[in-house]
Structure 1
């Protein structure tokens, strides 16, 4: 027995000793600094588990316990300062590229991307952003996307949304948003090829923000393996596109995002490598798929739950449908008429935001609200400190599209797309996708809940437990 105890006792004491050492070292190095209140949580794991189970509860509990302005925690293996409220949002958004820089957790980078093969990402990022804002998400490009989105939505409805049937909305919307992204950004329309990327992408989104434990039975390990499959398939696509462009195939066609990335040179005059292009394509697919899927599912859920809201949306959308000829696709002008529908979508985004916030890294030490944020600490802004805060939105649990009339909410309180220089560049893309799907759903069907008030859990985005099964009732002629 003594021999066994002598063997196991050091193993049991080692984690505690390391934890105690880290506390002593941290307190010693920060004696002269007033750090934000809070707790780092468990050794190694930090507070990842609590955060992943319910980001909203995580934030609200710590705002109540520590401070309504700022608190510290440990997420993704990093010391994290979470800024709260409109004041905190404004501070972070206003100090992008001054005190703060973009930052992605290492666990997420490991799942999604090839390791960076250059010493600096600056050239790649600036090239990517230039193409994104000028050629892909500019007003001119978005106007061209509208009829394409509508045509695919109609095709998707014909294939999958059968009248007088019960359908699960979440998986159907996932298929639509992913097919659309593949078509618009890479001109991939072959269902077999889309499926090769779609299936592993689903595994990635399930595990990308799970507890980053790389063991065979974990969601994180499955996400890593799925990420490898995605990168392999995308590498084949990039190589094939390079070959086609070099041979002059499709010279007279308008180039999509993939072709523009293949042909464009960075600021040093060098072509991007295949791996760099794959990394940027993955960013586009992730941004245009998971959060948009959640946003559309949330809107449809609220339309099914709230008949009086549905009726007003139906009137607006039918007026647009009746103004068009048989077979005419939606246009940008039609989208601009969807005023009430967009207010409904925004209220849904307030109550069920697809993204919880974003991380940044402090590039220099600074103070906020009397607390020191050391250089190298990570920061986090979150929708959950304002979206359901009664000081920002009276009766926050009530669904009220009228909140967005006139000038709308107070600045920095409604932040589903972030703000400042790093505001989500896909905001307008998401708006189009939301409104076009709303149009196609409500002009075809009345929606009946089969599981009233279905529970919503968090798996990277808010997710209905049963996939949101609804009964589709066709409108009487």
Structure 2
């Protein structure tokens, strides 16, 4: 397969280059800079190098060749400055509202947003109700979801894991995390309805970071189609919910995120439009679906690979399970006791982070590390400049949850959720979801990997090439059955 791709790449580069040239030829972006780096192929930039090498190897090679602080490249049809190391992260995170603004690739905007919003500044779209999203995802607001997470995790394992001796973790984790999001955000629990939405979302996530060529059969074309299908479905769900609220029939779903959005007024006293609500829900679903399922997968991967770590997690989780009465669900107090388990999750996030980094747009010229970054350029920060850097983490390839004991890593070195004003608002939601699922898995099973050398591929998130197949070894006696 790799050989075929090698021969096809030159054939693909020419039409893609022509297309991108026509797309960006009229842009009035200034290119004056003293940054070291490379623009790669004419027009196509370094997209192919980035895709073939993977984000980690690509970035580290250029840090060594050009600068450990910042270097220039050309990705997604844009001139880009890649900021490196803890100092680079700190600079970008602390200058979010001064020198930089949010930016999404065209492929992502067109896949996720209604056409009416595509040309709006990303900051305007994503900040519509950002404070609201942060409020509803705060720990105190999420406490009421823990029992629902626990119940759904238990039922998922009972139906999709327990009857089998072997399972593939990645597709099952995606099934669970998406079903949970649909339940908590919109009170949708019909399996067929959830599966249909999940199929549409798979099209989006497979193509939202691809080269924006809208030809039949391309990943981008699939993302555009998937986005429209999801938006159409959400608009139907929103319309139906509004009818129930009007008739005072919203009893089953009262209090979920969708109902809260429909009933909330903005600072100007107006309700959110249906399209604005849809944009917010899509953003929440994409985040909770792709990144959280990846985290669950690789947490379980390390539990299957490292018996010593598994045993410590099991001991902690069993001590919690033994305090619960028959059928009693987990509580916030139980989550707070999972200290070693959370350190184990954080170490998994360090080694295989679900998100590779984030983009910004420069709103005014500035100087960093002696280099000029012009207005209109894009910036990119990535976890790969710190997470495995021996300058910040001794023996960086070693899996060691104790790194996070005490004060933990130095600031701006461990950044799986970003940082600054735009730190991922779903961080606490992800923590609860992963810990609750981990609790249910380890108190029932020991895991044995069936493919010890399975490769990890990188798309929008890291993906085990064969879905991470494992053998399930049930404990002799499950505490919580």
TM-score in terms of structure 2 length:
0.90
Any stretches of 5+ residues in structure 1 without a counterpart?
Answer: 1-10
Cα pair distance change 1:119/1:438, threshold 3 Å: closer
Q: What is residue 415 of structure 2 aligned with on the other side?
A: 415
Separation in structure 1 between the aligned mates of residue 111 and residue 186 of structure 2, nearest angstrom: 22
Q: Could you give the per-residue CA deviations for residues 73-132 of structure 1, whole angstroms, max 9, x where no partner exists?
A: 111211111100000001001111111111111111111110245967777644512321
Cα pair distance change 1:430/1:144, threshold 3 Å: same
Which moved further from structure 2: 263-272 or 51-60? 263-272
Q: Could you give the per-residue CA deviations for residues 18-38 of structure 1, whole angstroms, max 9, x where no partner exists?
A: 89x98xx99xx65xx543211
Q: What is residue 363 of structure 2 aligned with on the other side?
A: 363
Separation in structure 2 between the aligned mates of residue 163 and residue 321 of structure 1, nearest angstrom: 22
Deviation at 1:267, TM superposition (A): 2.9
Deviation at 1:191, TM superposition (A): 1.3
Q: What is residue 3 of structure 2 aligned with on the other side?
A: none
Separation in structure 1 between the aligned mates of residue 193 and residue 163 of structure 2, nearest angstrom: 29
Separation in structure 2 between the aligned mates of residue 253 and residue 222 of structure 1, nearest angstrom: 32
Q: Is the 8 A contact 1:76 1:107 kept in 2?
A: no
Separation in structure 1 between the aligned mates of residue 163 and residue 443 of structure 2, nearest angstrom: 12
1:323 aligns with 2:328: no
Q: Could you give the per-residue CA deviations for residues 126-168 of structure 1, whole angstroms, max 9, x where no partner exists?
A: 451232122x212222111111100000010011002561100
Q: What is residue 159 of structure 2 aligned with on the other side?
A: 159
3-state SS in 2 of match to 1:157: helix
3-state SS in 2 of match to 1:250: coil
Q: Could you give the per-residue CA deviations for residues 276-322 of structure 1, whole angstroms, max 9, x where no partner exists?
A: 21111100101111000101101000111111111111111101001
Separation in structure 1 between the aligned mates of residue 120 and residue 414 of structure 2, nearest angstrom: 37
Separation in structure 1 between the aligned mates of residue 409 and residue 254 of structure 2, nearest angstrom: 40
Q: What is residue 36 of structure 1 aligned with on the other side?
A: 35
Alignment of 1:17-96 (within 5 A): 34-53=33-52, 54-96=54-96
Deviation at 1:51, TM superposition (A): 2.1
Q: What is residue 225 of structure 2 aligned with on the other side?
A: 225
Q: What is residue 237 of structure 2 aligned with on the other side?
A: 237
1:456 aligns with 2:456: yes
Deviation at 1:64, TM superposition (A): 1.2
Q: What is residue 4 of structure 1 aligned with on the other side?
A: none
Alignment of 1:364-443 (within 5 A): 364-443=364-443
Any stretches of 5+ residues in structure 2 without a counterpart?
Answer: 1-13
3-state SS in 2 of match to 1:471: strand
Which moved further from structure 2: 201-210 or 467-476? 201-210
Deviation at 1:40, TM superposition (A): 1.6
3-state SS in 1 of match to 2:375: coil
Deviation at 1:183, TM superposition (A): 0.6
Alignment of 1:111-126 (within 5 A): 111-117=111-117, 125-126=126-127
Deviation at 1:332, TM superposition (A): 0.5
Deviation at 1:338, TM superposition (A): 0.5
Deviation at 1:246, TM superposition (A): 1.7
Cα pair distance change 1:164/1:282, threshold 3 Å: closer
Deviation at 1:49, TM superposition (A): 2.6
Q: What is residue 133 of structure 1 aligned with on the other side?
A: 134
Deviation at 1:206, TM superposition (A): 1.3
Which moved further from structure 2: 404-413 or 195-204? 195-204
Pair member with larger Rg: 1
Which moved further from structure 2: 48-57 or 395-404? 48-57
Q: Is the 8 A contact 1:41 1:73 kept in 2?
A: yes
Q: What is residue 182 of structure 1 aligned with on the other side?
A: 182
3-state SS in 2 of match to 1:144: helix
Q: What is residue 287 of structure 2 aligned with on the other side?
A: 287
Which moved further from structure 2: 215-224 or 308-317? 215-224
Q: Is the 8 A contact 2:45 2:77 kept in 1?
A: yes
Separation in structure 2 between the aligned mates of residue 370 and residue 254 of structure 1, nearest angstrom: 55
Separation in structure 2 between the aligned mates of residue 269 and residue 229 of structure 1, nearest angstrom: 31
3-state SS in 2 of match to 1:181: helix
Separation in structure 2 between the aligned mates of residue 298 and residue 121 of structure 1, nearest angstrom: 31
Which moved further from structure 2: 360-369 or 186-195? 186-195
Q: What is residue 144 of structure 2 aligned with on the other side?
A: 144
Separation in structure 1 between the aligned mates of residue 237 and residue 164 of structure 2, nearest angstrom: 40
3-state SS in 1 of match to 2:315: helix
TM-score in terms of structure 1 length:
0.91
RMSD: 2.3
Separation in structure 1 between the aligned mates of residue 318 and residue 469 of structure 2, nearest angstrom: 24
| Alignment: residue pair count | 456
Cα pair distance change 1:460/1:111, threshold 3 Å: same
Q: Is the 8 A contact 2:94 2:420 kept in 1?
A: yes
